[in-house]
C-alpha cells in the first residue's frame, strides 16, 4: 500500500487523485489542510514519524510557485526517499526550476486520468528505488579505510571497455550485494545506461552539484539501482555537459562513493582525458583493456608508458585482452613482447558477448556458461577475497591407527 501526501488549494484535486490512485497504486492519501503553506519538511511532517513518511509528496495545484520549489528542494535534501511530484502548468522555465529543486516530474493540473496514473506509477517506483539505495551496506573496509576504486581504461574506443566494466561491477555485486557502484565517466558518449538497460532520472552532471556534494545520503538518491544489486551513476545525456564538470568534481565524487561502497568501478572514455587522469589519481586498481589487434596493443603500451612517466603507478594493475581470436594473426607471445607484460585475463571472442551487448543484458547477469563469461569471472575473482580452504577432517580409522 502506497502513502501519499497532498498539498493543494484546489478543492477538486483530492478527489481526482483518489480516483487515479487505485489498484496497485491504492493507499493512504493525507491532505495538508492547514491554512498556511508549509515552509519546510519539519512543519510538513511534524505529526508523522519516519516510518509513516509518504512515498510521494504531491505539491499543487494552486500552491505558490517559489515557496513550492523551496519546499521541494528542502525535501530532496532532508528526505531523499520521498519522491516529489509538482502539479503546475507546464513550461520550460518551470521544468528547469523543478529539476534543480529535485522534482522528478511535473504534471499539468488538467492532466487526464491515464496520464495521472502513469505519473503516480513512476513516482511510486522512483520512491522505492531511492529508498533501496539507502539500505545500509557492509562497511567498505576497516574503519578509516576507503573502498576499492577500480578504473577501467583503454587507449582507443571499441576495445570493449564498457563491457568489461559492467560485467565486473555485476560480478562484484554478486559477492557484495548493494555495496558496488558503477560510474560512467565517459562524459561525452557514455553507454553504461544502454549496456544495462537503465533509464536514469539523474546523471553524473547533477551528482556533482548542489546538496549531493555535501551529503552522501543525497548523493545516493542520484544513483540508479540495477536488479543485480549494482548502483549506477550514468553519464550525462548531452556531450556538452563535460565542459561543466571539473577534475575536482570527479575527485570529490569518487572520495564520497569510496567512503560508502566497498567497490567503485569507473568506466572511462577512450584515451587519457583530464577527467580520466583525475579518476586514476583516486584509484586503487587500473584495469587496462585492449583488443586483439596491433593498433590497440601498441596504444596500450603507449598509455602505460605515459602513466609511468607521470608517476601514476597503481597499487594493483590488471591487463585484459578482449575478444581474443587466434585467427587474428597475433599470438600471446607477440602481445607480451609489445607490452612488456603478460596479460592477466584473456577474454575469448564470443558471439554471446556481442549479443549480450546488443540486448543490454551483461553476460554475468545472465549466468551463462560461455567461455567469455568464464574469463570475466576470473577477472572478478582478482578483486574478491578467496574463500578459506576447507579443513580436512581426519577419519576415525586413521586416528585409531595412530593410537595403536
Q: Are 107 and 177 found together in one domain?
A: no
Q: Are 230 and 84 found together in one domain?
A: no
Phi, psi of 215 (to 5 degrees): -130, 115
Q: Domain end: 99, 133, 167, which one? A: 133
Helices (H) and strands (E) in the chain, counts: 17, 13
Q: Answer with the residue of higher pLDDT: 100 or 219.
A: 219
* Dist CA 212 CA 222 (whole Å): 8
Domain that holds residue 171: 148-380
Q: Domain end: 77, 110, 133, which one? A: 133
Count of structural domains within the chain: 2
Report the pLDDT value the prediction gives residue 122, as an integer from 0 to 100. 84
* Dist CA 255 CA 65 (whole Å): 36
56: which 3 cell numbers? 510521494
Residue 108 falls within a domain, yes or no? yes
Residue 32 falls within a domain, yes or no? yes
Phi, psi of 62 (to 5 degrees): 90, 0
Report the pLDDT value the prediction gives residue 142, as an integer from 0 to 100. 44
Residue 225 falls within a domain, yes or no? yes
Q: Are 128 and 152 found together in one domain?
A: no
Q: Are 204 and 326 found together in one domain?
A: yes
Q: Are 88 and 160 found together in one domain?
A: no
Report the pLDDT value the prediction gives residue 386, as an integer from 0 to 100. 58
Phi, psi of 331 (to 5 degrees): -100, 165
Confidence check: pLDDT of 400 > 50: no
Q: Are 168 and 78 found together in one domain?
A: no
State which of 76-90, 248-262, 359-373 shows the largest mean pLDDT: 248-262
Identify the band that residue 143 occupies on the pLDDT scale cut at 50, 70 and 90: very low
* Dist CA 313 CA 383 (whole Å): 18
* Dist CA 186 CA 250 (whole Å): 12
Residue 388 falls within a domain, yes or no? no
The CATH number that applies at residue 28 is: 3.40.50.2300
* Dist CA 135 CA 219 (whole Å): 14
* Dist CA 215 CA 65 (whole Å): 26
pLDDT in tens, 252-304: 999 999 999 999 999 999 999 999 999 999 999 999 999 888 888 999 999 99
Q: Facing residues of 57 across strands?
A: 5, 84
pLDDT in tens, 167-195: 999 999 999 888 999 999 999 989 999 99
The residue among 10, 13, 7 whose CA lies nearest residue 43 is 7
Phi, psi of 280 (to 5 degrees): -60, -35
Based on its alpha-carbon atoms, the radius of gyration of the chain, rounded to whole angstroms, reads: 25
Q: Facing residues of 321 across strands?
A: 290, 346
Report the pLDDT value the prediction gives residue 345, as an integer from 0 to 100. 93
Report the pLDDT value the prediction gives residue 161, as an integer from 0 to 100. 94
Confidence check: pLDDT of 395 > 70: no
Report the pLDDT value the prediction gives residue 39, as an integer from 0 to 100. 85
Report the pLDDT value the prediction gives residue 121, as an integer from 0 to 100. 86
Q: CB of 266 within 8 A of CB of 149?
A: yes
Q: Are 55 and 122 found together in one domain?
A: yes
* Strand pairing class (263-268; 180-185): parallel
**Mean pLDDT within 371-397:** 72
Residue 401 falls within a domain, yes or no? no
Q: CB of 104 within 8 A of CB of 126?
A: yes
Query: Residues 6 or more apart from 203 whose CB is under 8 A from it?
Result: 222, 233, 234, 235, 236, 237, 241
**Mean pLDDT within 93-109:** 82
Q: Are 121 and 262 found together in one domain?
A: no
Q: SS3 of 202, please?
A: coil
Q: Are 124 and 159 found together in one domain?
A: no
Burial of 245 (0-12, 13-18, 19+ CB in 10 A): buried
**H-type alpha helices, 243-293:** 247-258, 274-281
Q: Are 154 and 122 found together in one domain?
A: no
pLDDT in tens, 308-344: 999 998 889 999 999 887 676 677 888 888 888 888 9
* Dist CA 299 CA 305 (whole Å): 10
Q: Domain end: 133, 164, 183, which one? A: 133
Residue 363 falls within a domain, yes or no? yes
Instruction: Tell me, yes or no, if the pTM score tops 0.85.
Output: no
Residue 390 falls within a domain, yes or no? no
**Mean pLDDT within 221-243:** 90
Phi, psi of 70 (to 5 degrees): -65, -40
How many angstroms separate the Cα of 298 from the Cα of each of 290, 294, 295?
Answer: 9, 6, 5
Report the pLDDT value the prediction gives residue 329, as an integer from 0 to 100. 67
The CATH number that applies at residue 242 is: 3.40.50.300
pLDDT in tens, 48-59: 655 578 889 999
How many angstroms separate the Cα of 374 from the Cα of each of 193, 286, 287, 371?
Answer: 24, 21, 17, 5
Q: Are 316 and 349 found together in one domain?
A: yes
Residue 387 falls within a domain, yes or no? no
Q: Are 256 and 198 found together in one domain?
A: yes
How many angstroms separate the Cα of 121 from the Cα of each of 8, 193, 273, 385?
Answer: 20, 21, 40, 41
Amino acid at each position: 500500500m502506497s502513502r501519499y501526501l497532498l498539498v493543494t488549494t484546489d478543492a477538486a484535486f483530492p478527489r481526482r487523485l483518489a480516483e487515479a490512485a487505485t489498484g496497485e497504486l491504492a493507499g493512504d492519501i493525507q491532505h495538508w489542510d492547514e491554512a498556511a503553506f508549509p515552509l519546510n519538511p519539519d512543519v510538513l511532517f511534524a505529526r508523522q514519524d519516519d516510518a509513516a513518511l509518504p512515498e510521494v509528496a504531491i505539491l499543487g495545484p494552486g500552491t505558490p510557485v517559489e515557496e513550492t520549489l523551496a519546499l521541494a528542494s528542502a525535501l530532496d535534501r532532508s528526505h531523499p526517499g520521498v519522491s516529489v511530484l509538482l502539479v503546475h502548468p507546464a513550461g520550460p522555465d518551470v521544468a528547469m526550476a523543478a529539476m534543480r529543486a529535485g522534482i522528478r516530474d511535473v504534471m499539468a493540473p488538467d492532466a487526464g486520468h491515464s496520464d495521472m496514473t502513469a505519473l503516480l506509477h513512476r513516482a511510486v517506483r522512483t520512491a522505492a528505488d531511492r529508498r533501496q539505495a539507502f539500505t545500509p551496506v557492509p562497511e567498505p573496509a576497516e574503519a578509516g579505510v576507503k573502498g576499492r576504486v577500480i578504473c577501467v581504461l583503454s587507449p582507443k574506443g571499441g576495445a570493449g571497455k564498457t563491457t568489461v566494466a559492467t560485467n565486473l561491477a555485476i560480478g562484484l555485486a554478486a559477492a557484495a550485494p548493494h555495496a558496488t557502484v558503477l560510474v560512467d565517466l565517459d562524459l561525452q558518449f557514455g553507454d553504461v545506461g544502454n549496456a544495462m538497460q537503465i533509464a536514469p532520472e539523474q546523471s553524473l552532471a547533477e551528482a556533482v552539484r548542489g546538496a549531493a556534494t555535501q551529503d552522501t545520503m543525497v548523493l545516493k538518491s542520484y544513483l540508479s539501482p540495477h536488479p543485480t544489486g549494482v548502483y549506477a551513476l550514468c553519464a550525462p545525456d548531452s556531450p556538452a555537459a563535460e565542459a561543466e564538470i571539473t577534475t575536482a568534481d570527479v575527485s570529490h565524487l569518487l572520495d564520497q562513493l569510496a567512503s560508502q561502497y566497498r567497490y567503485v568501478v569507473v568506466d572511462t572514455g577512450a584515451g587519457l582525458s583530464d577527467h580520466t587522469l583525475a579518476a586514476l589519481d583516486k584509484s586503487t586498481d587500473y584495469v587496462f583493456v585492449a583488443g586483439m589487434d596491433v593498433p590497440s596493443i601498441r596504444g596500450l603500451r603507449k598509455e602505460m608508458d605515459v602513466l609511468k612517466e607521470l608517476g601514476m603507478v597503481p597499487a594493483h594493475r590488471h591487463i585484459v585482452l578482449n575478444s581474443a581470436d587466434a585467427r587474428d594473426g597475433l599470438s600471446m607471445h607477440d602481445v607480451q613482447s609489445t607490452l612488456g607484460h603478460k596479460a592477466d585475463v584473456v577474454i575469448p571472442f564470443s558471439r554471446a558477448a556481442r549479443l549480450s551487448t546488443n540486448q543490454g543484458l551483461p553476460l554475468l547477469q545472465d549466468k551463462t556458461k560461455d567461455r567469455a563469461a568464464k574469463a570475466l569471472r576470473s577477472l572478478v575473482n582478482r578483486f574478491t577475497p578467496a574463500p578459506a580452504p576447507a579443513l580436512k577432517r581426519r577419519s576415525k580409522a586413521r586416528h585409531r591407527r595412530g593410537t595403536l
